[in-house]
Amino acid sequence: MLKLLCLLLPLVAVSASPIDLGSQKDYLVLDLPGLSHLSETQRPTMHAGLLPLNLSFVADDDTEYFFWRFSKQDVDRADIVFWLNGGPGCSSMDGALMELGPFVINPKQEVEYNEGTWVEAADVVFVDQPGGTGFSSTTNYLTELTEVADGFVTFLARYFHLFPADVYKKFTLGGESYAGQYVPYILKAIMDDLKSDSGQLPKELYLKGALIGNGWIDPNEQSLSYLEFFIKKELIDIHGSYMPGLLQQQEKCQNLINHSSGEASESQISYSACEKILNDALRFTRDKKAPLDQQCINMYDYTLRDTYPSCGMSWPPYLPDVTAFLQKKSVLEALHLDSSASWSECSARVGSHLKNKISVPSVDILPDLLQEIPIILFNGDHDIICNCIGTERMIDKLEFNGDQGFTEGTEYIPWFYNEVNVGKVISERNLTYVRVYNSSHMVPFDNTPVSRGLLDIYFDNFEDVEYNNVSGIATPVYDVDKNITYIDSNDPRLQNGPKSSSTDDSAAHGNPFFYYVFELFVIVLLLCGLVYLYQYYSNSAPHSILADKHKKKSKNKSKNVRFLDDLESNLDLDNTDDKKDNSVMSKLLSSMGYQAQEPYKPLDKGANADLDIEMDSHGTSEK
């Protein structure tokens, strides 16, 4: 018996800790350029470094994930948020140093306090993943989202081994953009692991929920939203000669989606024809007479412009300082990284390996998740690439917890931040959606304090208010001393356990007439626009798609030749039957009403990378 025990004990020890991770203090971050200029209360407790994963499904795995953990000194928050940026292949240092982390990087490449950081409200851990992203290294690039999810579960197992106290904080996964794929996949993998007898994660782990900002969740619905968004925001001229081409592309995408068995697609998650709509529409926003840095619309914030063909790639503007900061020897040393470590915001290799030949879009996973946890989706309304029209359409069609979309009677209610109406919120059956006004693809970048208000809504840490006879919710919540209140581990609100949905109550007493009227106005406007569009194109039928088809060869020999050649071949493919062309416009209209669909690609910077390459082939001649 004793012999058996002696044999078993080392085995148990090995399985609990397969890899020597050292101890927590080996990961302490003690200094950073500029840190000494911050006040004591602004200086967070930090841990950072690489964790070897030794993934069980990869032979001789050398993957190491980089994490950077922040918590408020001498404060015990009840919650821990793991944050992932998108891509695929974009580093979560974007989140840490440009969005919701405790620092921003100034032009001297030193840290400055980021007013509004989420670290005031919760511990936050930024993770570069999958391998090859940011500081995380690997020679085994993952090819499926299911692998990415399993990889993250292994990372978490290692992490909790190093930070055992964090197991007892409420676990939230947050992310942005392509993390709209990562987050649901990872949540599913965590749930499965916790239910499994042979799981890697500690069973005490309490999975609280998720927040996804400007998520790339339903590539189908979302890629079909571009044209409508460009038209609604008047970013392109509906009388432009490019319009028939764009409509054609839209139809091609809709066709692919309708007959998803059709054209062989490399990925389950993307159709290149759908992807093309955004690239093309952006190209048509180009104004060659404008200053160089104002030539086309920024795809992450339509109120901004950028150089062509970047169209947003050079944004956010602090990227060069962040990059220089993360390349400083002193910073690498402080973060426990090798002096040869190199960082770039986005890795194209990660995206090119993540082909997702099997993985389905994460929208298919959401309903299962919503049965078990609350999820907040939020959307900055200035974003194009993951715009709010697409997200809202996706929700309208989503079947979850016994119904489709938000049911009648569930209304948007206004959200006030310090008495300013910063967005509107709707919530039902564990799904909360927030449209955030005047915000880009990276909501926390535009306004970090307001973005922390999203976390407050998620934490139930808001007040019901009425301003100008409009009732809504307000964040942050102040105490008698006018200090902002946060949820500590001993907060009485936690005694009742987590609530299934943070705003259900407020939603019930919401429904302000003003907002109803506003929505109605928008719908009427949109309908008028569509009717006008329809009339315009049906009246000018001879000039539209069919006619252009025959003209194109002679007409466009200039710089866009390649693009139009593509279009032409599309036309030839699609329009063998001439009668079909008469219905193109009405089909477009119905497709703008959004029908079925299938996928497109990444966003954030991953689509960027693609876009860049693709647009470069047209744009380089300009240089």
Residues annotated as part of the active site? 177, 383, 441
d(CA 460, CA 463): 9
Single-letter code of the amino acid located at 162: L
Taking CB under 6 A as the rule, does residue 596 contact ligand NAG?
Answer: yes
d(CA 350, CA 354): 6
Whether residue 476 is preceded by a cis peptide bond, meaning omega within 30 degrees of 0, is yes
Closer to ligand NAG at the Cβ: 74 or 479? 479
Nearest approach, Cβ of 584 to ligand NAG (angstroms)? 8
Closer to ligand NAG at the Cβ: 105 or 121? 121
d(CA 33, CA 328): 9
- Whether 599 contacts 171, CB under 8 Å: no
Nearest approach, Cβ of 225 to ligand NAG (angstroms)? 15
Single-letter code of the amino acid located at 255: N
Q: Please choose, out of 73-81, 140-148, 366-374, 513-521, the segment that lies near ligand NAG by the rule CB under 6 A.
A: 366-374
Q: Parallel, antiparallel, or unpaired: how do β-strands 206-213 and 375-380 relate?
A: parallel
Q: Which helix (H) or strand (E) holds 131?
A: none
Binding ligand NAG (rule: CB under 6 A), the pick from 251, 383, 446, 604 is 251
Residues 34-93 that bind ligand NAG (CB under 6 A): 54, 56
Closer to ligand NAG at the Cβ: 186 or 431? 431
Q: Which two tokens stand for residue 347?
A: 């890795």
Taking CB under 6 A as the rule, does residue 196 contact ligand NAG?
Answer: no
Quick check: helix, strand or coil at residue 368? helix
| DSSP letter (8 states) at residue 386 | T
Closer to ligand NAG at the Cβ: 125 or 210? 210
Three-state SS letters, 10-58: HHHHHHHCCCCCCCHHHHECCCCCCHHHCCHHHCCEEEEEEEECCCCCC
d(CA 537, CA 584): 10
Binding ligand NAG (rule: CB under 6 A), the pick from 106, 258, 327, 560 is 258
Closer to ligand NAG at the Cβ: 410 or 556? 410
Nearest approach, Cβ of 122 to ligand NAG (angstroms)? 18
One DSSP character per residue, 157-190 reads HHHHHH-GGGGGSEEEEEEETTHHHHHHHHHHHH
Taking CB under 6 A as the rule, does residue 274 contact ligand NAG?
Answer: no
Closer to ligand NAG at the Cβ: 53 or 326? 53
Q: Which two tokens stand for residue 356?
A: 């997702």
Taking CB under 6 A as the rule, does residue 591 contact ligand NAG?
Answer: yes
Closer to ligand NAG at the Cβ: 85 or 430? 430
d(CA 335, CA 69): 11
Residue 28's CB is within 10 A of a number of other CB atoms, namely 14
Residues 486-515 that bind ligand NAG (CB under 6 A): 498, 500
Nearest approach, Cβ of 209 to ligand NAG (angstroms)? 7
d(CA 200, CA 175): 23
Q: Which two tokens stand for residue 511?
A: 């429904």
Nearest approach, Cβ of 280 to ligand NAG (angstroms)? 17
Taking CB under 6 A as the rule, does residue 573 contact ligand NAG?
Answer: no
- Whether 173 contacts 210, CB under 8 Å: yes
Residues 6 or more apart in contact with residue 47 via CB below 8 angstroms:
24, 27, 28, 29, 67, 68, 69, 163
Residues 6 or more apart in contact with residue 214 via CB below 8 angstroms:
176, 177, 180, 378, 379, 380, 383, 385, 386, 391, 441, 442, 443, 603
Taking CB under 6 A as the rule, does residue 117 contact ligand NAG?
Answer: no
Taking CB under 6 A as the rule, does residue 587 contact ligand NAG?
Answer: yes
Taking CB under 6 A as the rule, does residue 33 contact ligand NAG?
Answer: no
Binding ligand NAG (rule: CB under 6 A), the pick from 196, 483, 489, 569 is 483
Quick check: helix, strand or coil at residue 90? strand
Closer to ligand NAG at the Cβ: 479 or 578? 479
Residues 458-477 that bind ligand NAG (CB under 6 A): 468-469
Taking CB under 6 A as the rule, does residue 437 contact ligand NAG?
Answer: yes
Q: Please choose, out of 332-340, 351-359, 446-454, 584-592, the segment that lies near ligand NAG by the rule CB under 6 A.
A: 584-592
Quick check: helix, strand or coil at residue 484? strand
Q: Please choose, out of 276-284, 317-325, 429-437, 571-579, the segment that lies near ligand NAG by the rule CB under 6 A.
A: 429-437
Residue 88: closest CA among 124, 38, 134: 134
Binding ligand NAG (rule: CB under 6 A), the pick from 241, 342, 535, 590 is 590
Taking CB under 6 A as the rule, does residue 170 contact ligand NAG?
Answer: no
- Whether 432 contacts 370, CB under 8 Å: no
Nearest approach, Cβ of 286 to ligand NAG (angstroms)? 25
Taking CB under 6 A as the rule, does residue 19 contact ligand NAG?
Answer: yes
Binding ligand NAG (rule: CB under 6 A), the pick from 74, 481, 577, 578 is 481
Closer to ligand NAG at the Cβ: 56 or 540? 56
Q: Parallel, antiparallel, or unpaired: how do β-strands 206-213 and 170-176 relate?
A: parallel
Longest dimension (CA), the chain: 91
Closer to ligand NAG at the Cβ: 488 or 566? 488
Nearest approach, Cβ of 609 to ligand NAG (angstroms)? 29
Q: Parallel, antiparallel, or unpaired: how do β-strands 123-128 and 64-71 relate?
A: antiparallel
Nearest approach, Cβ of 259 to ligand NAG (angstroms)? 8
Nearest approach, Cβ of 87 to ligand NAG (angstroms)? 27
Binding ligand NAG (rule: CB under 6 A), the pick from 277, 334, 373, 426 is 373
Taking CB under 6 A as the rule, does residue 424 contact ligand NAG?
Answer: no
d(CA 577, CA 599): 26
Under rule CB under 6 A, how many of the chain's residues touch ligand NAG? 29
Residue 363: closest CA among 406, 393, 402: 393
Quick check: helix, strand or coil at residue 298? strand
Q: Please choose, out of 250-258, 262-270, 346-354, 538-546, the segment that lies near ligand NAG by the rule CB under 6 A.
A: 250-258
Taking CB under 6 A as the rule, does residue 372 contact ligand NAG?
Answer: yes
Quick check: helix, strand or coil at residue 293? helix
Q: Which two tokens stand for residue 58?
A: 């990869």
Q: Which helix (H) or strand (E) holds 379?
A: strand 375-380
Closer to ligand NAG at the Cβ: 349 or 493? 493
Q: Please choose, out of 253-261, 335-343, 350-358, 448-456, the segment that lies near ligand NAG by the rule CB under 6 A.
A: 253-261
Residues that bind ligand NAG (CB under 6 A): 18-19, 54, 56, 251, 254-255, 258, 371-374, 401, 429-430, 437-438, 468-469, 479, 481, 483, 498, 500, 587, 590-591, 595-596
